[in-house]
């Protein structure tokens, strides 16, 4: 059975749909053909191929000592290791990964950033620290500093990430530098 529906007609494609008052109550017409008929038809061949889902297999990230030397009695902080999970499209992590790539940084820096901001805010745009006044994904102190990146700093992850990456680049050089600082002293 093939249903053909004119999308502009507003009809419902169902064999059970019969509008009220169809044919003024008269029976529908039928045609019976007698004899032997060939009812075959041809259609140009076609195939449907679905694109395979992309598999992200980043190169392994080796553990290396972080930028700063540890204080006496403390072990050296390390860069996170292992493959980096692909973030959900459109998420704050995906936005940050794209921004890092645009700055020429790879998965090693992304991994450090994920670890840093997982610790600081859990990647929540509305994360607020009532004792310090830090706010947002990068935990800017005070949060109003992020207004330099956009008026929507309180709610927009793009604005917060833009500001946070600028702060990290200016102060620590890279996300791994900021992560090393956070591991060494507890914050960045």
DSSP letters spanning 22-79: GGGGPPPP-----S--------------PPPPP---PPPPPP-B-SSPPPTTSPPPB-
Q: Residue range 95-113: average pLDDT?
A: 95
pLDDT at 3 over 90: no
pLDDT at 7 over 90: no
pLDDT at 12 over 90: no
Per-residue pLDDT reduced to its tens digit, 22-79? 556 666 667 777 777 776 666 667 677 777 766 655 555 554 444 444 455 555 556 5
Residue 105 CA to residue 149 CA, distance in Å, equals 21
Per-residue confidence (pLDDT) for residue 134, from 0 to 100: 95
Strand partners, 128: 135
- Check: CB of residue 176 under 8 Å from CB of residue 67: yes
Per-residue confidence (pLDDT) for residue 33, from 0 to 100: 73
Residue 141 CA to residue 172 CA, distance in Å, equals 16
pTM over 0.75: no
Per-residue pLDDT reduced to its tens digit, 125-173? 999 999 999 999 999 999 999 999 999 999 999 999 999 999 999 999 9
Q: What share of the chain is helix, strand, coil (3-state, %, to 5)?
A: 35, 5, 65
If you write DSSP's letter for every residue of 6-22 in order, what string do you get? -TTTT----TT---TTG
């Amino acid at each position: 059975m093939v249903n053909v529906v004119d999308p502009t007609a507003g009809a419902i494609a169902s064999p059970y749909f019969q509008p009220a008052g169809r044919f003024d109550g008269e029976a529908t017409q039928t045609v019976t053909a007698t004899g032997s008929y060939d009812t075959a038809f041809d259609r140009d061949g076609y195939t449907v191929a679905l694109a395979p889902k992309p598999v992200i297999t980043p190169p392994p990230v080796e553990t290396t000592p972080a930028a700063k030397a540890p204080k006496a009695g403390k072990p050296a902080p390390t860069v996170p290791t292992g493959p980096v999970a692909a973030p959900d499209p459109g998420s704050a992590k995906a936005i940050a990964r794209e921004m890092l790539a645009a700055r020429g940084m790879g998965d090693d820096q992304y991994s450090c950033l994920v670890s840093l901001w997982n610790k600081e805010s859990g990647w929540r745009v509305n994360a607020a620290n009532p004792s310090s006044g830090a706010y947002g994904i990068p935990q800017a102190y005070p949060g109003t500093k992020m207004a330099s990146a956009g008026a929507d700093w309180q709610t927009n992850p793009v604005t917060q990430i833009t500001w946070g990456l600028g702060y990290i680049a200016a102060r620590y050089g890279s996300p791994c530098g900021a992560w090393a600082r956070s591991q060494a002293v507890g914050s960045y």
